[in-house]
Amino acid sequence: MKKLLPFICATAIILNVSHLESAQRYSVFEAAHLLEQEYRDGRLSLDQKCLYLTLALRNKAELPDRFKLPAEEDLKCGTPLVLEVRRHWGLLSFETRQEISQLLDRPPKTFEFRTTHYVIHYDTTGEYPVYHPWEDLDPADGVPDYINRVAEYMERSYYVEIDSMGYYAPPWDGTAGGDSLYDIYIDQPLGYAVPEEPSTQYPDRPHATTSFIIIGNDLRIDRYPDDPLPFCMATCCHELFHAIQFVFTGQIWYPKDYTGWLYESCANWIEESVWDELNDVYYYLNSYLPVPHQSLYYEDGRHMYASWIWNQYLSENFGRDVIHSIWLKYMEVYACAAVDSVLRGLGTTMNDEFREFAVWNWFTNYRDDGNHYSEGAFFPPDTVVYGATHSSYPVSWMVWMRTPQSYGANYVLFNTASADTGAYELSFSGDSQYVYGVDLILYDPSSSSYLKMTLDENSSGELVIEDFKSYGRVIMVVTHLFNFPDRYGGASFSYSLDTYVPFVRGDSNGDGIINVGDIVYLVSYLYKNGPAPSPIDAGDCNCDDVINLGDVVYLVSYLYKGGPPPGCPKAPLFVPDRPARISN
């Protein structure tokens, strides 16, 4: 049977040539950027771009020199690059498809080691010999210790991801690789999972494919310069989860979807389930928390690996099975639509949960209060950063410069020490073409609470903060909610904060009484050039942010027909409790 396009995930790692017996490493990430730039400029054909992307992952020696930039830090996984190749597969020439397929074929190996679920193929000499092939101490069984460790890590990953969490095992591949056990190849210092043939093993998974995995022969990296095993642990469970993902989507890919972040964020998230004590995923958080304006599904560099924190938020609130449900739904719809559909089934939405998620992200490291991430206190010190800090008041209308992308956030700190006592009013004005969330963290070391602002159809709103000075800090969290067509476009906004002047809504003339005089005052303002209510909101009886005849009718109904009194719903105050830790 003719093979499908291999669909790989390359764990491109950072190797220090001073302590690794290998040639100069080049950055897959930088090569991909340069390739895309030249393609958009018309200097590369589509065939050339896709072939070079594959060479960047599999055979850098054949990659043109202009794309070889030394790697101080590289991508953890090359799946988005191969997704790009797959997206254009039908447009490539037969010759290019053949060349790419050959590059991504199973590498021949001399030795085999069998476990319950796997056959591990490896060499002890040649171009990519296994790490320290002479080490055979634990156990002394004639097999290099590195192979024993890979076997242990893969079996533990199988136990957690498949036996315990209930994911389907990758379909058996007949006699490919020698027998029906799942095949692992120890090869160049990369890690990737490759889907191959359609499988009918799971009738309820119509897009499932067989696959194999490659694990790097030497996984020492900058943060583990003398020991390949920590990153090998992470790589084994990460790549197995990619093979599991191919059970859901091995034969489909949505041409206009941004899928890389979902594949990588979930594969990184699974590492916490398999190796909770390892915490290697914490390393990536400095590519998410300090740049909160970047989109959740921003696929540039380490950010998509760092977005595992979103899946952690979901699993801590809804149980880890929520990720399984998302992948089931992803067989039918785009990534964000799959997430939103599952959350709607749980009584919420992706927009609502992302707002809460942005608030949780503030409570990490030294800001942790015990009510948010279960391990938030142990996250690295690179916490979310403020785009602006205010210590004097009033704050006149501020126009935001580094605006949040789709599913991105901005944080604004208001220091309260220099504020007057009493209430303050926050006013917000966004662009009506975008959907925003505006939330306030009222920080108190002993008990923090939240206020949620309600925005009108023009993306504007106000929120009164009672006893503003009593809080240690007040943090405004602005989120740009789902905007698929323009994911990297920033949603501009402005805001102000000033002392709140109490008024009675409906008391248009300000005499402290709501009566016929207020009706006359409104009519005079609207139709006879009379003075405006002061403040202007006093005349907005029906709270629709417009003063017109409707407010006069509303006031007449209240005074003479038993209608509801003027007034607006008060913004809800949320005092968070520690969420129930759901395990399953």
Residue extents of the structural domains in the chain: 28-278, 388-502, 516-560
Name the residue with higher pLDDT: 150 or 580: 150
> What is the DSSP pairing of strand 388-390 with strand 408-415?
parallel
Closest CA to 119 of 215, 228, 250: 215
> Rounded to two decimals, what is the model's pTM?
0.85
Structure confidence at residue 483 (pLDDT): 77
In the predicted structure, residue 261 carries a pLDDT above the cut 90: no
DSSP string over 434-455: S-EEEEEEEE-SS--EEEEPPP
Distances (CA, A) of 324 to 77, 196, 330, 359, 417: 21, 23, 10, 25, 47
Say if strands 408-415 and 473-480 run parallel, antiparallel, or are unpaired.
antiparallel
Instruction: Please give the Cα distance from 346 to 323 (Å, whole number).
Output: 13
pLDDT above 70: residue 3: no
Burial of 247 (0-12, 13-18, 19+ CB in 10 A): buried
Predicted confidence (pLDDT) per residue in 264-300, tens digit: 999 999 999 999 999 999 999 999 999 999 999 887 7
Which stretches of 481-556 are assigned E, i.e. beta strand? 493-499
CB atoms within 10 A of CB 580: 9
Estimate to the nearest angstrom the gap between the alpha carbon of 517 and the chain centroid: 56
Distances, alpha carbon 211 to alpha carbons 205, 236, 238, 267, in Å: 15, 14, 14, 16
* Per-residue pLDDT, 9: 42
pLDDT band at 256 (very low <50, low <70, confident <90, very high): low
Residue 447 is predicted with a pLDDT of 81
More confident residue, 570 or 498: 498
Q: Is 197 within 8 Å of 209 (Cβ atoms)?
A: yes
C-alpha dist (Å) from residue 371 to 4, 24, 307, 465, 584: 48, 46, 21, 22, 21
- Mapped onto helix, strand or coil, the DSSP state of residue 190 is coil
Say whether 471 sits in a helix, a strand or coil: coil
423-442 mean pLDDT = 94
pLDDT tier at 571 (50, 70, 90 boundaries)? Answer: low
Across 31-40, 318-327, 520-529, least confident range: 31-40
Check residue 180 and give its pLDDT: 86
Distance (Å, rounded) from C-alpha 447 to C-alpha 179? 59
Structure confidence at residue 71 (pLDDT) = 64
Q: What are phi and psi of 338, to 5 degrees?
A: -65, -45
Distance in angstroms (rounded) separating the CA atoms of residues 260 and 304: 7
Q: How far apart are CA 453 and CA 329, in angstroms?
A: 31
Q: Per residue in 376-386, pLDDT tens?
A: 999 999 889 99
What pLDDT was estimated at residue 320?
95
Query: Under a CB-based contact definition with an 8 Å cutoff, are residues 323 and 311 in contact?
Result: yes
- Look at 307-311, 431-435, 439-443, 485-489 and tell me which has the smallest mean pLDDT: 485-489
pLDDT for position 416: 94
Q: What is the dihedral of CA 38, 39, 44, 50, to 10 degrees?
A: 120
545/536 Cα distance (integer angstroms): 10
Spatial separation of the C-alpha atoms in residues 385 and 290, rounded to whole Å: 5
Percent of the chain with pLDDT over 70: 89
Q: Is the pLDDT confidence value at 81 over 80?
A: no
Query: Would you mind telling me the total number of residues written for the chain in this entry?
Result: 584
Is pLDDT at 4 greater than 70 in this prediction? no
- Whose structure tokens read 């010999």? 129
pLDDT the model gives residue 446: 78
Pick 388-502's CATH classification: 2.60.120.380, 3.30.70.100, 3.30.930.10, 2.60.40.10: 2.60.120.380
State yes or no: pLDDT of 21 exceeds 70: no
As a whole number of angstroms, the distance between CA 239 and CA 229 comes to 15
Per the prediction, the chain carries an average pLDDT of 88
- For residues 330 and 262, is the Cβ–Cβ distance under 8 A? yes
pLDDT the model gives residue 573: 55
Q: What is the DSSP string of 266-277?
A: HHHHHHHHH-TT
